[in-house]
Amino acid sequence: MKKEENITNEFFTDWKYAPAPESTDHIKLKKQYDLFINGKFVKPNSKKYFATINPATEEKLAEVAEANEKDVDLAVTSAKNAYDKVWKKMPVKERSKYIFRIARLMQERAREFAVIESMNGGKSIRESRDADIPLAANHFFYYAGWADKLDYAFPNKKPQSLGVAAQIIPWNFPLLMAAWKIAPALATGNTVVLKPAETTPLTALKLAELIRDSGLPDGVVNIITGFGKTGAAMVNHPKVNKVAFTGSTDVGKLIQKSIAGTNKKVTLELGGKAANIIFDDAPIDQAVEGIVNGIFFNQGHVCCAGSRLFVQENVADIVISKLKQRLETLIVGDPLDKNTDIGAINSKEQLNKINEYIKIGVDEGAEMYQSKCAIPSKGFFCRPTLFLHTSQSHRIVQEEIFGPVLAIQTFRTIEEVIEKANNIPYGLSAGVWTDKGSKIFNLTSKLRAGVVWANTYNKFDPASPFGGYKESGFGREGGLHGLMPYLSF
Ligand code: NAP
Ligand code: MG
């Protein structure tokens, strides 16, 4: 038995996969992208463009326009006109046909979207191909189904659309976040101005092309690119009725301040620092896989990442030893290789931030363990990293790192782990691993987190609402709940 175990371990650590790169031949990127306003690509008033790169190679992929206040005004005005003259008046059945068409076109072009997502964002092709793009298309399908049934969704409440929605999204799930924003807004009869993050504009611009091809009436969806200033101009525009923001807690707070005293509706999906809790009766191998899935895939660029691990003390040794073994088998590298587990960090700025936190963890006295894997010399990459013997007061336990860094603590009792898991400014998500259903129900009612996964992690479905407590924001996206922030009653 012992011998067999050794053979298995050697087999895994010595195994080398042949390169399996996804082809990029069919990808057509323009040299320069303009702003998508009123159904057309138009030159920015700013006359400025900025480069967008591939974080795995540091090569420039394209230039995209920087929208200034004048451009924001044109986009919002176009959305307002489309709302008043077309979209608000359109029979709900017709609206839903357009949303279905967007979903179908996205499915048809799924491979192209997946490759561009990985090229521009750094995430592994496996992730963009199997998660991001299908989930984005499913989101449009799901909300297309609601568009003509709002009276059934909210009986006797007479739901009304709001008007123009300004939607601002981050770089970790570029197309998926665009879908989370646009699909419910359209289904509820609103029109949209969306801004992707500065580092990942390309799939949003491809989506603009798709929307143009879908025949959606001009101005119903406008997509503009730029930096934080562009986002701020959108939030502050007087013709905007609704602000939907996903991003950092700091920017979320700024947005809330700047709309105070207006009657703009707002939803904020902000940061997280999820607890992944492993009890001694958990299926250990599955739990280890769940830990890896929770924090290392997608480079830890996940707001709901299981970045704090709590292991019951009597199984801590075995869980940590298996986790270390599993870490050594993770492949870090070319996002376009189908065998890659961990792709590139999204930007140099983010890599510096992660490295700073790794240094903080070491300085705070936690014990660091990093995979010994090779990483490419060019591009932005980070080895999967564990911190053992951390405590609640450590900054690496309290603050969102947004990288492949896991802070591990042990616990003895349920009361202790609930107290520790909740003792944090965030409350977006959590995970529980145990054989006992009663423990799961006990914990889910006491953990202050919007989503709690049991014996799994990072599972998404358009029918399931997602959103946070405390500094993780408010409002829900997905499901029936996701319609409400776009309606008045
Ligand atoms: P970020 O810096 O807050 O940026 C998010 C978006 O806001 C970007 O499009 C950004 O533009 C824009 N922005 C920046 N300053 C702004 C301002 N003053 N007014 C209006 N818009 C402004 O966040 P990030 O670094 O891109 O993303 C990572 C964060 O997002 C993490 O904290 C993560 O937890 C959170 N996140 C949360 C969820 C969720 O559902 N709760 C999902 C994904 C990510 P630029 O890119 O040009 O700066
Ligand atoms: Mg930013």
Does one domain contain both 246 and 284? no
120 found inside a domain: yes
24 found inside a domain: no
- Tokens representing 205 are 């611009």
Does one domain contain both 108 and 129? yes
CB of 222 shorter than 6 A to ligand 1: no
Residue in 172, 223, 472, 476 to alter for ligand 1 test, most ligand atoms within 8 A of Cβ: 172
Distance (Å, whole) CA 72 – CA 469: 31
Distance (Å, whole) CA 128 – CA 130: 6
Does one domain contain both 225 and 340? no
351 found inside a domain: yes
19 found inside a domain: no
Does one domain contain both 152 and 291? no
Q: Nearest ligand to the C-alpha of residue 474?
A: 1
20 found inside a domain: no
Residue in 168, 257, 357 to alter for ligand 1 test, most ligand atoms within 8 A of Cβ: 168
CB of 175 shorter than 6 A to ligand 1: no
In the three-class reduction of DSSP (H, G, I as helix; E, B as strand; rest coil), residue 145 is classed as: helix
Does one domain contain both 261 and 329? no
145 found inside a domain: yes
Smallest Cα–Cα separation from 420: which of 308, 281, 317?
A: 308
9 found inside a domain: no
Q: Nearest ligand to the C-alpha of residue 353?
A: 1
CA of 3 to the centre of ligand 2 (A): 51
Return the ligand 1 atom nearest residue 249 CA.
Answer: 32
Smallest Cα–Cα separation from 424: which of 446, 400, 454, 444?
A: 400
CB of 121 shorter than 6 A to ligand 1: no
Cβ–Cβ under 8 Å, residues 222 and 37: yes
Does one domain contain both 60 and 158? yes
**Which residue has a Cα nearest atom 46 of ligand 1?**
197
CA of 197 to the centre of ligand 2 (A): 7
CATH number, domain of 316, equals 3.40.309.10
Q: Nearest ligand to the C-alpha of residue 246?
A: 1
Does one domain contain both 263 and 347? no
11 found inside a domain: no
pTM for the structure as a whole: 0.96
CB of 384 shorter than 6 A to ligand 1: no
User: Which pairs with CB-CB distance under 8 Å and at least 24 residues apart come from 4-9?
Assistant: 9/325
| pLDDT at residue 5 in the model | 47
Does one domain contain both 80 and 227? yes
Q: How far apart are the first and last CA of the chain?
A: 66
Does one domain contain both 199 and 214? yes
Q: Which domain holds residue 388?
A: 275-461
Does one domain contain both 427 and 477? no
| pLDDT at residue 16 in the model | 80
Q: Nearest ligand to the C-alpha of residue 427?
A: 1
CA of 363 to the centre of ligand 2 (A): 27
CA of 246 to the centre of ligand 1 (A): 6
Determine the distance from the C-alpha atom of residue 410 to the mean position of all C-alpha atoms in its chain, rounded to a whole number. 28
Indicate the number of domains in the chain.
2
**Which residue has a Cα nearest atom 39 of ligand 1?**
269
CA of 228 to the centre of ligand 2 (A): 7
Q: How many CB atoms lie within 10 A of CB 41?
A: 17
Does one domain contain both 217 and 325? no
**Which residue has a Cα nearest atom 19 of ligand 1?**
232
Cβ–Cβ under 8 Å, residues 330 and 342: yes
CB of 270 shorter than 6 A to ligand 1: yes
| pLDDT at residue 17 in the model | 87
Does one domain contain both 210 and 309? no
CATH number, domain of 226, equals 3.40.605.10
CA atoms within 13 A on the CB side of 390: 29
**Residues with catalytic function:** 269, 303
Amino acid identity of 382?
C
CB of 90 shorter than 6 A to ligand 1: no
CA of 247 to the centre of ligand 1 (A): 3
Per-residue pLDDT of the chain (489 residues; tens, 9 = 90+): 344 444 455 555 566 889 999 999 999 999 999 999 999 999 999 999 999 999 999 999 999 999 999 999 999 999 999 999 999 999 999 999 999 999 999 999 999 999 999 999 999 999 999 999 999 999 999 999 999 999 999 999 999 999 999 999 999 999 999 999 999 999 999 999 999 999 999 999 999 999 999 999 999 999 999 999 999 999 999 999 999 999 999 999 999 999 999 999 999 999 999 999 999 999 999 999 999 999 998 899 999 999 999 999 999 999 999 999 999 999 999 999 999 999 999 999 999 999 999 999 999 999 999 999 999 999 999 999 999 999 999 999 999 999 999 999 999 999 999 999 999 999 999 999 999 999 999 999 999 999 999 999 999 999 999 999 999 999 999 999 999 999 999
